[in-house]
Every structure is written in C-alpha cells, then in structure tokens.
Structure 1
Amino acid sequence: MKLGFIGLGVMGAPMAAHLVAAGHDVSGFDVHTAAGEKLQAAGGRAAADVADAVARAEVVITMLPNHPQVEAVALGEGGVLAAAAPGTLLIDMSTIRPETSIEVANLARDKEIRVLDAPVSGGQAGAEQAALSIMVGGSEEDFDTAKPLFEALGKTIVHVGPHGAGQVVKAANQLVVGGIYGLVAEAIVLLEASGVDAATGLDVLAGGLAGSRILELKRKSMVDRQFAPGFRIDLHHKDMGIALAAARQADVALPLTGLVAQLVAAGRAMGYGSLDHSALLKVVEQLSGRVPAEV
C-alpha cells in the first residue's frame, strides 16, 4: 500500500521502518528533520510536511504524543482531513482521549475519510521488535483493511469496538500497568527492608499467582535500579490523566487508579519524568525514607 506516516519518534520510527520492510511505500513526516532522514535511509521517503505525506496515500498513520498534536495534524490547515483524498483510511495509533478519537471520526465522515483509533501497548521494545499489542476502535470493515498493516507491527491485534473503544482499552491497560509497577515497587521495598534478597523474592513471585509480564521483563532491572526508558513517567502521567477523564466520562469510581495516578504524578514532581515508569520504585523508596531525594 501507499502509506503516509506522521510522527517518527521513539515509537513511530521503528514502526514506519517495519512497514517499509513489509514492502509498503511509506512517506513519513516528523517535525524533527533527522527523523525523516532516518526513514529515508531505511527505504522510505521523507515528506516535506503533513500534506506531502498524505497526498498520495491510501492509508495515513499518525503516532503522536497527545490529543493536541493529533487535532492539529488531523484537523488543522494542511492536515490529514484537508489533504487526503476521499476513501483514505486514517489510523491514529497515538494514545489520546477517547472523545478526541470520536470527534476526528465524526469530522472525517463528512470528508468521506475512514478512521480507526488503534493505540498500542508494548513500549519502545515492542515497537522495535514488531511485537506491539494493538487495540482497535472503528468499523469491522476498516479493521479488516488495516489488519495486514497491523500484522507488520504487532503480535496481539484485536478489534475492540466502535470509534473511541481502542482508547478506552488503552486507558484500562495503562491503569493496570501503573498499578502493577507500584505494587512491585512496594514488594521490593518490603523485601529489602526486611533483610530478604529482593531478586530471590521476586523470582518466587514471578512463578506464582503474582506472576505478570512486568515481573517477567522488569524485575531484574528494578532491583538493579536501572531506569532507562522504555516508557517514560512523563508519558504515563499523561495516560493516567486520560484514564481518570475516561472514568469521569463513564461516571464510575476508580479509587486505586486515582492513587496510582498520584504516585506517577509524584514521580514526575520529584524529577523522574524522563525515567522509565518502573522508577515508581524511587517514589515508594522516598515515601519510606530509604533513599536520598536526588534523581
């Protein structure tokens, strides 16, 4: 397919490269010129702007930081809805508010442009290894059209419902991930404060009912205090805000989510925003007075 790809950052760059490797004709744009040059070196084309990336595309994929960027790229002057031909499929793989996904889909309908919201889970490693989980909102027909593209990017690909549903599932994912990180952090602090080797203790937990993907992948790096991102606390802070806003929209109470959001916010306030979200361990340690307050 002829693809336009907008947003060639930590996640978008490897995703666009996988699509090139799968045989697609990819024109990519990013506000950072070097990102376009990197795509060109991988066999894609560096577009001059959003309209240039979109002009010849059958499918446009956006992978952007938050809803203001999605709104600007999709709805702004020279954006996707202005530049794309009728019948184009717009797939937004950013993590944003469900209401923004619904608004973009509604406005796109008037332009005869189809839309899917398809946020992902798996972080930088998942993007680089083409092992993302992709949760997709929109019509079944458009999902079927996009599925070969998703298969070049991920391993778990599920159509979860209508427009906005992908973003709701992603919000649920992020609240669970944040909660597990917080509890693993508390387990490490408890083990170490009790004189028990944390690595050994977590090995036991990982083999029992407490086992999780986070324990599988992150227990060693957390015990070793290695917090290179991964997925930054700054981004998880944004995502917890989306989860809380979705809860308000659905008129439900999520008390544990609120507490986890405060822990993530505390990590950001303590100066850990650029670290991996597993650095919630540093927040829990400081609450127990077990480490100095430096980053």
Structure 2
Amino acid sequence: MSQTIAFIGLGIMGNPMAVNLQRAGFTVRGYNPPPARTDALVEAGGTATDSLAEAVQGADVVCVMVPDSPDVQDVLLSEDGVFAHAAPGTLVIDFSSIRPDVTTGLSKVAAEKGFRLIDAPVSGGEAGAKNAKLSIMVGGAADDFAAARPVLDAVGTTVVHVGPAGAGQTVKAANQLIVACNIEVLAEAVVFLQAYGVDLGAALDVLGGGLAGSAVLQQKRGNMSQDSFEPGFRIDLHHKDMGIVTSAAREAGVVIPLGANVAQLMASARANGDGSLDHSALLRGVRRLSGLSEGGAE
C-alpha cells in the first residue's frame, strides 16, 4: 500500500486498529496523548506524531477513533483540527460511535470544505480490533465507501455500506441496543443458575449450542464465570451509546421499552462505580439488586 494514514485516537480500539493498518502495508502516523499509547504502533513500524496537525498534513486518509460526539467535533472542527490542516479532498473515516445527527452535520461541513467524510462505527470489541475481525457499518457516499474499502478491509471482516451519512451511526446505535440487552439477560441467567448451584460452565455450554446461543454469550461467559471485568468495552462508553439510541428512538417516535430499562441499569452500574469496567460487569448490578455479594453469595 502506498497510502499514508493519519490515525487519531489510539485507545483500546484505535491502537490495535492502527497497528493492523500498518501491518497491512499502509504508512500510519498516529496521534493520541499520552505518548505511551503510540508505543505499539511504533513497534509495528508506524510513526508517532507530536500533534494532530503533524499527523494529518499530507495524509491520504484520516481515521478518527475517539469516545464521543464532542470529541469528534473537536478533532475535525477545531483550529488545530483535521479540516484546518488536512489537504482538501482527503478521505476522513470516522470509526467513532456518535450521534447520527452530529455525523450528518459534520458531513455537510466536510463537503463545504472539500473533504470526503464517511461514518464507519465498528462492533467486535477489543478482541475484534486486535484480530482485524470487526463488523463495520458505513454511512456516506457510495464512491467514498469504495475509496475507503481497502482501509476498512484491513481492520474488519464484515464491511457493509448501509446508507447515506449518519446511517452507519444509526445501525451502530441499534447494535449497541442489542448487545446491551443481551449482556443484561446473560447476567440475569448467570445469577439465576448460580442461585440453584448448577454447574455454570456446563449450563452455558448447552445454552450456547441452542437458540439461546449468541456471540455475547461466547465472548462474555468467561468474564462472568471468573468475575473478571478488564475492559474490552467500558460501561462508561456503553452508557453513552444507550443515551444515543434512547434519544434517537424518541426523536423517531418509536418506543424501546426493554432498551430504556437496560439503559437505566447501565446508568446504575456507572453510578455504582463500575464505569471503567467491561460492560459484562452488568452482572455486578444484577447481584446488587439480588442482595448478593460480588462473588454471588448472600
């Protein structure tokens, strides 16, 4: 690959994605304070930059992976941001999960300034990012999607153009709704099984082989069985995403009663100090409501 990519945001997801792009043959320049977050990219042959402006100048593609809507707006629109320093015509791929209406507005600004912007939020968690097996839902113009395809294919295995600007964020909101509800009911099932002294591993084996099976069950059963909640995707971020989907549903005039309840349970987990933990730590909230200790005992 001869393209130079500026990757802005090297957190839990962005770091392995940038590394995989470098390994795929792109020339990757990463920016994210603190500097230690660029170590893995540098070890893979990429470059760490001291500023966002330095990262994007002369880049063919700019990838953004930051936590929330205000962060994306700052990265793109600030005086030190992408639109101020990248060359017109640069393709900007926003991998962040943000509000669809914010993406639509940013797309209009990008077009006015001569940039091409697509929204490409991802699903698959830290494991998917590390293994380049993310599911990527893309909104934007068809020709911009085609131009971005080599980059997207280097970090994901399911890459789908779902519609115009903002459509990717809408599909991601639906994804987060489904995942949150799945995690919550899995947590409730675990507490229920443990209350009856059932062999949890055997129970999850048979449940996973039937209609109750899911990617959530397979990926999160270890966390819940071992009470290990190192973040692959933090409750803080899923709380933000549930705010996006509940707000968007209200604006569309549709009801998501189960999703609204799970959004409150996510907020409760955060309020109880679990925000920095993996979203599988919803299990801890079910235990609290059941009057159980962290390990499941009364």
TM-score band, normalised by shorter chain: over 0.9
Contact 1:199 1:220 in 2 (8 A): no
State the Cα RMSD in Å. 1.5
Contact 2:88 2:114 in 1 (8 A): yes
Residue 134 of structure 1 aligns to a residue whose secondary structure is strand
Contact 2:284 2:294 in 1 (8 A): no
What is the alpha-carbon distance in structure 1 between the residues aligned to residue 83 and residue 224 of structure 2?
44
Contact 2:19 2:40 in 1 (8 A): no
Contact 1:27 1:44 in 2 (8 A): yes
| Selected match of 1:82 from 81, 84, 108 | 84
Partner of 1:17: 19
Partner of 2:161: 159
What is the alpha-carbon distance in structure 2 between the residues aligned to residue 219 and residue 293 of structure 1?
15
Please report the TM-score for the alignment, with normalisation by the length of structure 1. 0.96
Is 1:202–2:204 an aligned residue pair? yes
Residue 271 of structure 1 aligns to a residue whose secondary structure is helix
Shifted more, 79-88 versus 129-138: the winner is: 79-88
Partner of 2:177: 175
Residue 270 of structure 1 aligns to a residue whose secondary structure is helix
Paired letter, 1:267: A
In structure 2, runs of 5+ residues without a counterpart are none
- Tell me how many residue pairs correspond in the alignment: 294
What is the alpha-carbon distance in structure 1 between the residues aligned to residue 19 and residue 173 of structure 2?
27
Contact 2:269 2:285 in 1 (8 A): yes
What is the alpha-carbon distance in structure 1 between the residues aligned to residue 19 and residue 194 of structure 2?
43
Shift of 1:31: 2.0
Partner of 2:130: 128
Contact 1:286 1:293 in 2 (8 A): no
Partner of 2:5: 3
Paired letter, 1:5: F
| Inter-CA distance 62–292: structure 2 relative to 1 (3 Å threshold) | closer
Listed as ranges, the matches of 1:118-267 within 5 Å are 118-267=120-269
1:55-96: CA deviations, max 9, x gaps?
111111000011111101101102111112121111100011
Shift of 1:292: 5.7
What is the alpha-carbon distance in structure 1 between the residues aligned to residue 61 and residue 251 of structure 2?
31
In structure 1, runs of 5+ residues without a counterpart are none
Identical columns (%):
54
Shift of 1:221: 2.9
Shift of 1:27: 1.4
